Amino acid sequence: MFANRKIENIEMEVMDAVNQARKQQPLLNAMVSFTEVDEAIEYAKSSSGKMAGLPIILKDNVLTKGVRTTGSVQILDNYIGTYDATITTKLKEAGAVIIGKSALDGLGMGGTGTNCHTGFVHNPYDLTRMAGGSSVGSAVLVASGAVAFAIGSDTGDSVRKPASFVGIVGVKPTYGRISRYGIIPYASSLDHVGYFTRGVEDAALSLEVLAGRDDKDMTSSFREVENYLANLNGDLTGKTIGIMGNVIDAIRSKEVLVLFNDLVEKCKAAGAIIKVIHMDPVRLKTCLPVYYIIANSEATANHSNLDGVRFGMQERGDSLEELMTNSRTKGFSFLLRKRFIIGSYSLADENQDLLLRKAQKVRRLLVEDFKVALADIDVLIAPASSDVAPLLTDTSADQLSARYLIAENHMVLGNFSGYPSMTIPMGKINGLPIGINLTAKPFEEQVLFDIALGMEHLTGCKNMMAEVML
């Protein structure tokens, strides 16, 4: 746990992290760039901040002044940040030492870690497997032991799904709890800053550093930041835990269900009250298409400025239109171009009522259903994935099945609603981790952390690390 730790030699700890990340890079491919750390180390030596001397990683969509920030797309490969994101400033002020930037699925679009400009990112537990996405590099570097904390962002489940696949804690707080100023956007109504740790106590402390009002982000909340770590209580007695029955019904892996049911029984024995809750199954199956329409429409609007003219990489053409077409064609992967086409189609005047407006209305219905589901409980839980991390070559998913539409995509409800949600390790299946996801009511992060800590005590899955064979 990095909370309340004492560092005898900050420089040694930071350089150990840098060296470990460098040694692991040929196998994991999780880093985009390394930063100069000398000035940050000197500042950390005299800092009394909550992360003084802690080596950390930023997802490469977080702006850092004077540091290359690519968003893992070719069109931004030469882009140097001109200012610090608010969270970059907060982390620096807390004494953290940023050692580098991590790979992501391009502009946050993707859930596999295979859509990064720098190539596939590998799961440290099995190099032939995915580690999820889009915050894949940050998740992998925490799971491998290179760092104890890393920043991610979560638009659909981009922090919480990777956390499941690599056996760590992934937190997406309430919408507005953490400023997004200086984060390269994906979809503005869904984007959240998130982060990774290897334990719930560290997760609680981290939110104290990151949370708070920021006038540069008008969506950020004025709510006071609580003393999450000091108030942390892992006692499950009397806590009401809801099980998302639709997800359980959609899972086919017996091993996952055994792990989940075993944890539920342990929660009961620890004094928790368990309720099984079912949401409208027809509406739940709309989560993925609704997400695709809204997210890609917003992404298309947000990234219209990436045209090869104003900044970024430029591919020549005989006219302005040809230059822009060539730059965007070469600068974005096939998957991103596909998503921009979906977004452009949905934004067309003749399609907005048929697609975008309808998707927004269905989103509202899903949020109302989710609000009702959480009304009489403290948290709603379900496995964060229907199985362990898939192989990098796996393309077998039936995208119309309940297993895929519900069991693999239910966490997007946390983005539709903005409710706080986190994944913690539940255990391992054949040596591969899998996580459990918890969601609470808006701004009830303290409740979320309390119950997560109680579950962490029951699973014994604190501070899990993969052994990367160098």
| pLDDT interval class at 404 (50, 70, 90) | confident
pLDDT at 156: 97
Contacts of 446 (CB under 8 A, 6+ apart): 226, 228, 231, 232
Active-site pick, 102, 158, 385, 421: 158
Pair 59, 150: CB distance under 8 Å = yes
How many Å is the Cα radius of gyration of the chain? 21
Look at residue 470 and tell me whether its pLDDT is greater than 90.
Answer: no
What is the Cα 370 distance to its own chain's centre? 20
Cβ 131 vs Cβ 140: under 8 Å: yes
Evaluate if residue 74 carries a pLDDT over 60: yes
- 431, exposed or middle or buried, with CB in 10 Å at 0-12, 13-18, 19+? exposed
In angstroms, the first-to-last Cα distance of the chain is 25
Q: What is the pLDDT of residue 403?
A: 73
The predicted pLDDT at position 311 comes to 83
In a 13 Å sphere around the CA of 59, the CA atoms on its Cβ side amount to: 34
Residue 395 confidence (pLDDT) above 80: no
Say whether pLDDT at 402 is over 70.
no
Measured in whole angstroms, the distance separating CA 134 from the mean position of its chain's CA atoms is 7
Burial of 65 (0-12, 13-18, 19+ CB in 10 A): middle
Q: Which residue has the tokens 């580098």?
A: 100
Alpha-carbon span 130 to 122, nearest angstrom = 6
Q: Where are the beta strands (DSSP E) in 159-249?
A: 169-172, 192-197, 240-244
The alpha carbon dihedral of 297, 299, 302, 303 has a sign of negative
Q: Which residues of 392-416 are buried (b: 16+ CB within 10 A; e: fewer)?
A: beeeeeeeeebbbbbbbbbbbbbbb
The answer to whether 61 and 110 have CB atoms below 8 angstroms apart is no
> For residue range 150-206, what is the model confidence (pLDDT) as tens digits?
999 999 999 999 999 999 999 999 999 999 999 999 999 999 999 999 999 999 999
Amino acid at 355: L
For residue 242, what pLDDT is reported? 98
CA-closest candidate to residue 356, choices 292, 293, 285, 288: 293
- Which whole number is the average pLDDT over 292-320? 93
Residue located via tokens 């579950």 = 455
Query: In 137-183, where do the E strands start and end?
Result: 150-154, 169-172
Q: Of 47, 134, 138, 179, which is the active-site residue?
A: 134
355 pLDDT above the threshold of 90: yes
Q: What's residue 4's pLDDT?
A: 63
pLDDT at 397: 59
Distance, CA of 137 to CA of 33 (rounded, Å): 11
Return the pLDDT at 400.
57
Cα–chain-centroid distance for residue 124? 17
Taking residues 327-331, report their average pLDDT. Answer: 93
Catalytic (active site) residue 134: yes
pLDDT at 469 over 80: no
- Determine the Cα angle at 315 with ends 309 and 321, to 5°: 60
pLDDT at 5 over 90: no
| CATH topology (fold) of 10-235+455-459 | Amidase signature (AS) enzymes (3.90.1300)
Residue 8: per-residue pLDDT: 77
pLDDT digits (tens, 9 = 90+) for 90-126: 999 999 999 999 999 999 999 999 999 999 999 999 9
**Marked catalytic residue, from 59, 161, 172, 239:** 59
Active site residue 386: no
Q: Are strands 273-277 and 240-244 parallel, antiparallel or unpaired?
A: parallel
| Cβ neighbours, 10 Å, residue 350 | 8
Q: In what helix (H) or strand (E) does residue 373 lie, and over which residues does it extend?
A: helix 358-374
For residues 136, 139, 143, 146, the Cα torsion angle rounded to the nearest 10 degrees is 100
Q: Is residue 46 flagged as an active site residue?
A: no
Q: Which pLDDT value is given to residue 396?
A: 65
Amino acid identity, position 19: N
**Contact residues for 322 (Cβ-Cβ < 8 A; gap 6+):** none
Give the whole-angstrom CA distance, residue 251 versus residue 402: 8
Amino acid sitting at position 435: G
Residue 289: Cβ within 10 Å count: 14
**Is the pLDDT reported for residue 321 higher than 80?**
yes
pLDDT at 7: 75
Instruction: State yes or no: pLDDT of 270 exceeds 80.
Output: yes
Residue whose C-alpha is closest to residue 464's, from 435, 439, 438: 435
At residue 394, φ and ψ (nearest 5 deg) are: -75, 120
Lowest mean pLDDT: which of 150-159, 394-403, 412-421?
394-403
Give residue 235's identity as a one-letter amino acid code.
D
Query: How confident is residue 14, by pLDDT bands cut at 50, 70 and 90?
Result: very high
Residue 33's SS3 state is strand
Examine the pLDDT at 342 and tell me if it is beyond 70: yes
**Stretch 248-273: mean pLDDT:** 98
Distances (CA, A) of 443 to 175, 204, 207, 210, 434: 9, 13, 12, 14, 26
User: Does the pLDDT value for residue 129 go beyond 70?
Assistant: yes
